[in-house]
């Protein structure tokens, strides 16, 4: 890839970083009494923090990549998939609303660029932790610290990260704090001495990407905007996300529904698929 393409890569990833940081600031600035929590048709919660973040993300991405379709949780919901073309964006402006409402720090802003059904670039920002994981497939991944609300004229320097499975008998397994299902629970029980790490939102993908965990199985349904950005970062860091039968997880080919997946840091040491 030539210098011109590399420059465009850096430009887009830098813009995603700034947009995610601005959305993070909007979430943290929202007064608790004004959150106006509602329950959506799918029984999941939504607040004014979700919609404030989404407005920032959609406006920023529309200016950055005019004409490129954007699939966003609150704007798209679970409507049938339109013709997105070969290049589009998937975002979740506030992933982990339950954790956010509970006062935990396990919620994220997710932005992913999809090309030909595969995530090529992504940013996962954890506003309450002041951390961001980002990456571009084939160009590596990094974690960086940021201060939500602070100007980002000059992006903070990131720390290169790489997913890896620890060489020990205990497998560090991330499980959903709010959505753990019986099938996933049974799969984890079959692993050799699993160390369960409960965690909310796409934060789990960041932990996998930086080598702080080994495996994240989810055998219950979720949506593409919950997975795509983390998938992109994990791919850039050397890991992957697959369907339980081992086939690739692709995006934009249906109704944004992901029946199940297994994310991992190192396929060479991956336990048998369920």
CA atoms within 13 A on the CB side of 251: 30
Instruction: Say whether both 179 and 116 belong to one domain.
Output: no
Rounded distance between C-alpha atoms, residue 136 and residue 204, angstroms: 18
Domain count, the chain: 2
Instruction: Say whether both 27 and 126 belong to one domain.
Output: yes
The answer to the question of residue 68 being in a domain is: yes
Helices (H), the chain: 3-29, 48-64, 73-76, 97-101, 182-189, 203-209, 224-237
Rounded distance between C-alpha atoms, residue 224 and residue 25, angstroms: 24
Instruction: Say whether both 119 and 96 belong to one domain.
Output: yes
* CATH number, residue 140: 3.30.540.10
The answer to the question of residue 143 being in a domain is: yes
Please identify, among 108, 130, 161, the residue that sits at the C-terminal boundary of a domain. 161
Rounded distance between C-alpha atoms, residue 203 and residue 26, angstroms: 19
The answer to the question of residue 188 being in a domain is: yes
**Exposed/middle/buried for 3, CB within 10 Å: 0-12, 13-18, 19+?**
exposed
Q: Tell me 235's DSSP state.
A: H
Q: Whole domain around residue 155: which residue ranges?
A: 3-161
Say which residues have a Cβ less than 8 Å from residue 155's Cβ, sequence separation at least 6.
14, 17, 18, 144
Instruction: Say whether both 117 and 138 belong to one domain.
Output: yes
The answer to the question of residue 126 being in a domain is: yes
Taking the model in full, what pTM does it have?
A: 0.92
Instruction: Say whether both 109 and 25 belong to one domain.
Output: yes
The answer to the question of residue 166 being in a domain is: no
Backbone angles phi, psi at 56, to 5 degrees: -65, -45
The answer to the question of residue 41 being in a domain is: yes
Please identify, among 98, 129, 161, the residue that sits at the C-terminal boundary of a domain. 161
Rounded distance between C-alpha atoms, residue 234 and residue 243, angstroms: 15
Rounded distance between C-alpha atoms, residue 177 and residue 41, angstroms: 22
Instruction: Say whether both 157 and 248 belong to one domain.
Output: no
Rounded distance between C-alpha atoms, residue 42 and residue 166, angstroms: 38
Chain centroid offset of residue 242 CA: 15
Residue 268: predicted pLDDT: 53
Instruction: Say whether both 77 and 189 belong to one domain.
Output: no
Instruction: Say whether both 9 and 108 belong to one domain.
Output: yes
Is 202 strand, coil or helix? Answer: coil
Instruction: Say whether both 225 and 243 belong to one domain.
Output: yes
Instruction: Say whether both 148 and 178 belong to one domain.
Output: no
Instruction: Say whether both 119 and 202 belong to one domain.
Output: no
pLDDT tens, N- to C-terminus, the chain (274 residues): 344 455 788 899 999 999 999 999 999 998 876 688 887 777 777 899 999 999 999 999 999 999 999 999 877 654 555 678 999 999 999 999 999 988 999 999 999 999 999 999 999 999 999 999 999 999 999 999 998 877 776 777 899 999 987 766 788 999 988 888 899 999 999 887 889 999 999 999 999 999 999 999 999 999 999 999 999 999 999 999 999 988 999 999 888 999 999 999 876 556 666 6
The answer to the question of residue 274 being in a domain is: no
Tally of CB atoms within 10 A around 247: 9
Tokens, residue 152:
């980002």
Say which residues have a Cβ less than 8 Å from residue 70's Cβ, sequence separation at least 6.
58, 61, 62, 88, 89, 90, 91
Instruction: Say whether both 116 and 247 belong to one domain.
Output: no
Among candidates 34, 33, 69, which has minimal Cα distance to 51?
34
Rounded distance between C-alpha atoms, residue 52 and residue 94, angstroms: 10
* CATH number, residue 213: 3.40.190.80
Distances in whole angstroms, Cα of residue 24 to Cα of each of 28, 131, 149:
6, 10, 8
Please identify, among 161, 185, 214, the residue that sits at the C-terminal boundary of a domain. 161
Max Cα-Cα span within the chain:
51
Residue 6: predicted pLDDT: 52
The answer to the question of residue 254 being in a domain is: yes
């Amino acid at each position: 890839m030539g210098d011109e393409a590399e420059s465009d890569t850096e430009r887009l990833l830098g813009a995603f970083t700034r947009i995610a940081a601005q959305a993070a600031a909007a979430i943290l600035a929202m007064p608790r009494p004004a959150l106006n929590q509602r329950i959506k048709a799918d029984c999941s919660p939504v607040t004014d923090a979700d919609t404030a973040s989404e407005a920032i993300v959609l406006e920023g991405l529309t200016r950055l990549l005019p004409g490129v379709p954007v699939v966003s949780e609150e704007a798209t919901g679970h409507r049938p998939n339109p013709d997105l073309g070969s290049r589009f964006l998937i975002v979740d402006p506030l992933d982990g609303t339950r954790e956010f409402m509970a006062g935990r720090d396990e919620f994220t802003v997710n932005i992913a660029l999809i090309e030909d059904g595969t995530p090529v670039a992504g940013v996962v920002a954890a506003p309450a932790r002041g951390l961001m994981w980002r990456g571009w497939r084939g160009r590596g991944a990094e974690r960086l610290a940021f201060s939500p609300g602070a100007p980002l004229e000059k992006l903070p320097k990131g720390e290169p990260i790489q997913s890896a499975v620890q060489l020990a008998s205990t497998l560090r397994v991330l499980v959903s704090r709010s959505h753990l299902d019986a099938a996933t629970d049974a799969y984890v029980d079959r692993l050799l001495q699993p160390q369960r790490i409960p965690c909310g939102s796409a934060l789990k993908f960041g932990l996998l990407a930086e080598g702080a965990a080994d495996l994240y199985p989810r055998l219950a349904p979720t949506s593409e905007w919950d997975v795509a950005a983390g998938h992109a970062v994990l791919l850039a860091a050397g890991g992957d996300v697959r369907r339980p039968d081992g086939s690739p997880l692709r995006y934009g080919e249906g109704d944004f529904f992901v029946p199940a997946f297994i994310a991992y840091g190192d396929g060479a040491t991956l336990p048998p698929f369920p």
